[in-house]
Structures are given as structure tokens and as C-alpha cells.
Structure 1
Amino acid sequence: MRYRIDRPIRGRRGARIIGLDRGADMIVARIAQRQWGYARFLGLAGPVVGEVGDAGSESVALRTTAGASTNLLAELAEADVAIMVATTGSDTAAATIIGAACTVRAIMTAGLVIGDPDMVGPTVAAIRPHARVLMVSGDEHDVVDVLSALRA
């Protein structure tokens, strides 16, 4: 007996990939150049200030890799997964607010921390409470692999 699906598997309709620091923004921008389905690649427009938790989600201003302004609430409206990409020096308030906003909306979260394992400890500690899945890697190509596996 054979089990085979002869048609393409539909991709996700709302993956949001968000860089949490300058190094992550560069990684996200490079990865965004590849061919993706409905994924949107974003970065923080500036440091996050305001209330921590879901109530602070209005304070998270984002920008696309093309430079257009948007915000967290608008991006999560159609999202089914939010992937936070970080290196060192990530915005911990942003990770907290993004994680809380996703939890309230039942949106899966993942954290991908890229860098030298000896240097990313504080970033991992900051993101860990806000990501259901957390991966630490020294190779930014692992972000591509994760996004491909998620059919972004």
C-alpha cells in the first residue's frame, strides 16, 4: 500500500520573521531576498518603550525590509507564526511584548538566536520565556532551514 500526496502542500499564510537587534536585522534582510511564500520580514523601528505584556503591543513599531512602517498589532492580525531572530544585545522588552501578544492570540512563537554560544547567553535568557521553541546556532543558514521546514 502506498501513501502519496500528489499535490503541493499549501504553505503558511502568515509567518512573521522579526529581527530583535541590528545584527538580526541584517540576517533577516539577507534571508528576505530568497523566494518565500507569504512570509513577511520585519525589524524593530526603534527601541521599545512602554508597557510590557500584550497591552504594550501598540508600542512596538516595526519596519519591513523594504523600509515601510508597520506595527506589531497589524502584523499579528494575519499571522500564524512569529519567529524572533536575535544575535547579541537584543531588545528584551520587544521579545516580552511580542511573546505576550502572540500568546494571547494563540500564535506559535519561535526564537532563533544566531551567534557564538559564549556570547549569546544573555540573549537566550531574555528570549527563552517568550518562545515556545528556541534554537541557538552559529550559522544563519539554520534560519533558512527552519523557515523552509515551516513552509514560510
Structure 2
Amino acid sequence: MTDQLLSVPAGVSACSEATTAKEAAFRIDYPLAAARNTRVVALDAEAARVVREASGLEWGQARFYSATDPGHTLTSMTGADVPLAEALEESNTVVLVSTSGENADAVEAIGAACRVRGIMTAGLAMTPGALASEALVRLRPHARILLVPAEPDDLVELLRATRA
């Protein structure tokens, strides 16, 4: 049986089947959704450095901020203060980035605001080599998706994967 499977060439006939009406019924015939309205929030100085580097790349609708306690105001990478509620308007994804677990009140405020609005949250605990950390403890209750231990490149890859 194995010999029979190996001797059947894929060739032109396999490609031509992909163009039949039967196969076309399984194709997605509408364009991909637009870029996500992602908000990336750094929760400490080292995380802010990583977020600032990522913000310099070309993104669709992504916006980049840093937060300090109590988290009701975010600071954009240009230094402008933005109320949390305003930053979350029209957002459908928030990525929280932490290296140290600082600003627990800000994590709580942002997490609660996202939960109420139905915004998907992801957390990056950038603690290379450490599976347990204060950053993980702070992010876990507020992140539906959690990368531990995350590397700086993981932020860019996550943003690309989510079409930010």
C-alpha cells in the first residue's frame, strides 16, 4: 500500500483539482480583516525600551504607550498623556509588557477596563530564563494570552501575527 501511495505523482492533476467548483466552495471569498487596533502598554522602564523599539516599525493601527500607577492615564511614545478610556476606544487587542512586575495598580486598571469592554489582552513577561517572576504574577490575572519568559523579539512577532 505504501508503495502505491509513493508511486502516484502529484503532478498537474492535483493542481487542476484545486481549481474545480467543488474545491472553490471551501475558499474564503472575502478580504482579510483590516489591521487590528492594538494598544501596546509598557509597565516599567525596561519594557518601555522594548516597546519604544517596536513602535519605530511600520504598523497598521497599533499604538504604543507606557503606564505607571494607578494606570488611569497612559503616556504615548511621544510623551503625550492619554486617558486610559480614550486609548482603548476602538481597540480590540491590548498587549501588556512587563519585565519587573512594577505598577500593579496600572495592570489592574488596564485589565479591568479591557474586561469590561471585551478587549482581548495578551501579556509578555520579559523575564528570560525565569518561569516564575513578579511580572508573571501581575500579568496572569489580566492576560488571556501570556508569553513566559518572553524575549524582546516576541513583541514584534506577536504584533505581526495579530496584524497590528
What's the TM-score once normalised by structure 2's chain length? 0.77
Structure 2: how far apart are the matches of 1:126 and 1:144? Answer: 22
Name which structure has the greater RCO, CA cutoff 8 Å, separation 6+.
1
* Equivalent residue, structure 1, for 2:60: 37
* Equivalent residue, structure 2, for 1:47: 69
* Equivalent residue, structure 2, for 1:71: 83
Q: Deviations over 1:96-117 (max 9, x none)?
A: 1111110111110110111233
* Equivalent residue, structure 2, for 1:148: 160
Structure 2: how far apart are the matches of 1:8 and 1:32? Answer: 26
Query: Which one has the largest radius of gyration?
Result: 2
Structure 2: how far apart are the matches of 1:69 and 1:122? Answer: 26
Structure 2: how far apart are the matches of 1:139 and 1:103? Answer: 26
Q: Secondary structure at the match of 2:148?
A: strand
Q: CA RMSD in A?
A: 2.1
For this pair of structures, how many residues does the alignment match? 141
* Equivalent residue, structure 1, for 2:49: 26
8 Å contact 1:114–1:140 — kept in the other structure? yes
Displacement after TM superposition at 1:11 (Å)? 3.3
Q: Closer, same or farther in 2 for the Cα pair 1:63/1:120, shift >3 Å?
A: farther
Structure 2: gaps spanning 5 or more residues? 1-17
From 113, 120, 125, the counterpart of 1:113: 125
Q: Which one has the bigger helix percentage? A: 2
Flag as ranges the 4+ runs of structure 1 deviating above 4 A.
Answer: 2-8
Displacement after TM superposition at 1:71 (Å)? 1.5
- Counterpart AA for 1:123: A
Structure 1: gaps spanning 5 or more residues? 49-58
* Equivalent residue, structure 2, for 1:130: 142
Structure 1: how far apart are the matches of 2:39 and 2:114? Answer: 11
- Counterpart AA for 1:137: P
- Counterpart AA for 1:19: A
What's the TM-score once normalised by structure 1's chain length? 0.83
